[in-house]
Amino acid sequence: MALKIAFSGKGGAGKTTLSALAIKYFIDKKITPVLAVDADPNANLNIALGLDFNETIADIREEVLEGKVMNGETKNEFILRRLNEILVEGENVDLLVMGRPESQGCYCAVNHLLREYLSKLARQYKVVVTDTEAGMEHLSRRTTDDLDVLFIVANPDPVSLRAAIRIQDIAGKLKLKIKDKYLILNRLNSTPPLFLKEMMESARLNFIGSIPEDLQVSMCVQEGKAVLGLVSTRAGEALYKIIEERLKKKSD
């Protein structure tokens, strides 16, 4: 069974960057193959991974609704074939892009089939890392259920932390199947200041660690290059420790 991890948090908190660095961790440790899922309608995880994509899960959904299932093919066969076609294959990591949210229409049946096939697909991987969209929509639409770890990413400021608290609350209220939720403070070079510590404690956020401000990472993103291609970064090292701590805790 694949280890399923997702990164959520306020817009710009660092979800995509940390998703790519987490994928790099699993590749470096040879815990492969990895499935990267870009669940942000404004998809850009591919850039961080140095991969290109043309089509998304949303395209399949629309095609089924528009009756584009080929003659001689059942709906199931069509979905399975198209899923294989849109899957972008990298060296140790494959990428699946969810695409735009559904417009009006009756998507229940196709969504049901897609979910079924996606969970079958996930079983072919050692790890699934999902980069989610900002905000809580994906949680209420329940595309982020059945997770081992939800990392909630926040920058060290009250607005970002409040967004993290809301995400934790919504995840709790929806009773999503998430084994563990952890808070990561991103772009923080020291221990959290007292007022943030107090906010975290009163909201019972499970703070697992901080990622430092890393010029190498921000330059790489600014230049549109792949974070996955960076050999060694301060941000990556900090995230590696966090992931290792979580993995170690579970094997104890």
Q: Does 233 bind Mg ion (CB under 5 A)?
A: no
**CA 199, CA 162: separation in Å to the nearest integer?**
9
Range list of H helices, 91-205: 108-122, 137-140, 158-173, 194-202
Burial of 104 (0-12, 13-18, 19+ CB in 10 A): exposed
Segment near Mg ion (CB under 5 A), from 13-21, 109-117, 167-175, 220-228?
13-21
Q: How many residues bind Mg ion (CB under 5 A)?
A: 2
Considering only residues 3 through 22, tell me which ones interact with ligand ATP, judged by CB under 6 A.
9, 11-17
Residue 11 touches which member of Mg ion, ligand ATP, none, C-beta under 5-8 Å by kind: ligand ATP
Beta strand residue intervals within the chain, DSSP E: 3-9, 34-39, 88-89, 93-97, 127-132, 147-154, 178-186, 207-211
Minimum Å gap between C-beta 96 and ligand ATP is 17
* Residue 4 to residue 125: CA distance in whole angstroms: 10
Q: Does 47 bind ligand ATP (CB under 6 A)?
A: no
Cβ proximity to ligand ATP: between 126 and 156 the closer is 156
Burial of 237 (0-12, 13-18, 19+ CB in 10 A): middle
State the binding partner of 17 from Mg ion, ligand ATP, none, CB within 5 to 8 A by kind.
ligand ATP
How many residues belong to the site for ligand ATP (CB under 6 A)?
A: 19
Q: Which is nearer to ligand ATP, 63 or 213 (CB)?
A: 213
User: Residue 14 binds which entry of ligand ATP, Mg ion, none, with Cβ cut-offs from 5 to 8 Å by kind?
Assistant: ligand ATP
Answer yes or no whether residue 138 interacts with ligand ATP by CB under 6 A. Answer: no
Q: Which amino acid is at 234?
A: R
CB under 8 Å to 78, separation ≥6 — which residues? Answer: 63, 64, 68, 69, 70
Under the criterion CB under 5 A, does residue 16 sit at the interface with Mg ion? yes
Contact footprint for Mg ion (CB under 5 A): 15-16
